[in-house]
Amino acid sequence: MARRSDRTVCAGLLEQPRFLLACLGLVLLVRLVWVFAIPNQQVSDYAAYFEYGRAIAAGEGYAVGGRPTAYWPPGQPYFLGAIFSIAGASATVGKLANAMLYIGIVFLGWQLARTLFRSRRIAGVTALILALYPNHICYTGVLLSETPFTFLMLSGTWLLLRAFGSDPSDGAAGLESRGLVQSADEAAELGDLRGIGRPKLEYRMPSSFAGGALFGLAALVKPMGLAVFAVVLGFILCRQARSGGRLSGMPARVRDRSRMAAGLVAVLAVLLVIGLWTARNLHTFGQWIPISTNGGVNLLIGNNPYSTGGYFYDEKVQALIGDLPTEWERDRAATRYALRYIGAHPPRILWLAVRKLFHLYAWDFDGVRWVEKGLAPGTVFWGIRLIAQAVYLAVWVGVVYAIIRRRGALPRLGLAILGVWTLGHLVFFGYARFHYPMVPWLVMYAAAGVSTISSKPIPDRHARSGSEYSEFA
């Protein structure tokens, strides 16, 4: 009895709104301690991002050696340029910005877990794990693009979910989402008796536009954001085309038109944001460059005779496309070579895909390694590496356990995002930090696995009727 009582108290604590505030405070405290205790320098890509941000803040524009560039996506350089123009060009300023962004990431992880899983307990576990996630704590000291991208991706997803659905906790819809009834018709009938009324499916155009705009910004940080946007929007539209009308008081024709209009607004917002940068590139280079000129190079890195599945771009690889005068020409030449190689060597491409998967997901202490490289030579935090890897493996165990235990009762949206993200990197190449944006999604599913340890498995029929999971299950 005492053990069960302890579990009840723990579960009740996780479901308290104050628990989220405590987690957010913990995020800030731990990361501030890390930033000021470990004064690492920026190296490799992160040093380049710092210089780009400094130049933008100084009014020099996005340029290399005084010459405009579009080689890397502009999101991270302009983000750093904006904060440097306000607070000064300092690596510490960028690190503190990372800490503030991660507060948003934890809040959004909590909000999405609560929305998709319909459980404050799962949301609370998600927030706690993310707040103390070792590798991401270490990455606070590194000016990588994945931190702002993750914040923008989660923000865009949350707003699109809000734009395309009613709140299942309100009105008669809440009766079904909480499992008090078994069908939408029963929910409506009982709702009428209680004076609640039939639930209405609302399409919020401002949220749709804002969600699309945030995904547009995310794509300017990492172009893979477009694939995530397509999955999120497509998943919502397809799901509502099948079942959205069950809880809607609208006529079918009005509902369908409203849904498609909201989807179109989101797409137009993405195109507007990216189109502004494309117009800059067209004006500057006289070429249609939607985002950046390194996509072909990245494709070449993952598909050439010297490819390892990870990042490998030495003189031998560069010689495959020759010495071309402009970054645009190099990008096109790299794309052509990589596509020819893929078509000519299918067996090797399949083997490389396995190696890319390994490089993408095998390790999760790369944040520690980049911090070590920015400190005195020979600095190695073995203990932090081991802890970070152990936590990462535990998260994967939780994900697998949730899939096995919950069976068909898990929301599929996060799994779909994880799938398209993985497939995208199997086309290009794998790298440990590239799975950073997927960690919040993995943690949500791991939290669902943790929540089943002290509770009975939920039958599939409850997933269909929405007792614990949202309409996006």
Determine the average pLDDT of the residues in 224-245.
Answer: 86
pLDDT band at 256 (very low <50, low <70, confident <90, very high): confident
3-state secondary structure of 145: coil
Decide if pLDDT at 316 tops 60.
yes
pTM for the structure as a whole: 0.88
DSSP 65: T
Tens digits of residue pLDDT in 289-308: 999 999 999 999 999 999 99
Q: What is the mean pLDDT of the chain?
A: 86
Determine the average pLDDT of the residues in 424-448.
Answer: 97
Q: Which has more confidence, 343 or 378?
A: 343
Tens digits of residue pLDDT in 42-88: 999 999 999 999 999 999 999 988 899 999 999 999 999 999 999 99
Determine the average pLDDT of the residues in 459-464.
Answer: 38
Decide if pLDDT at 462 tops 90.
no
Distance in angstroms (rounded) separating the CA atoms of residues 285 and 288: 8
Q: Which has more confidence, 378 or 320?
A: 320
Determine the average pLDDT of the residues in 360-364.
Answer: 97
Determine the average pLDDT of the residues in 262-289.
Answer: 96
Distance in angstroms (rounded) separating the CA atoms of residues 166 and 23: 28
With a pLDDT cut of 90, the percent of the chain lying above it is 72
Decide if pLDDT at 152 tops 90.
yes
Per-residue pLDDT at 202: 59
Per-residue pLDDT at 333: 97
Distance in angstroms (rounded) separating the CA atoms of residues 250 and 259: 11
Per-residue pLDDT at 182: 42
Distance in angstroms (rounded) separating the CA atoms of residues 389 and 398: 14
Per-residue pLDDT at 250: 58
Other CB atoms within a 10 A radius of the CB of residue 57 amount to 20
Decide if pLDDT at 166 tops 50.
no
Please, are residues 223 and 292 in contact by the beta-carbon 8 Å criterion? yes
Amino acid at 361: Y
Determine the average pLDDT of the residues in 112-133.
Answer: 94
Per-residue pLDDT at 189: 45
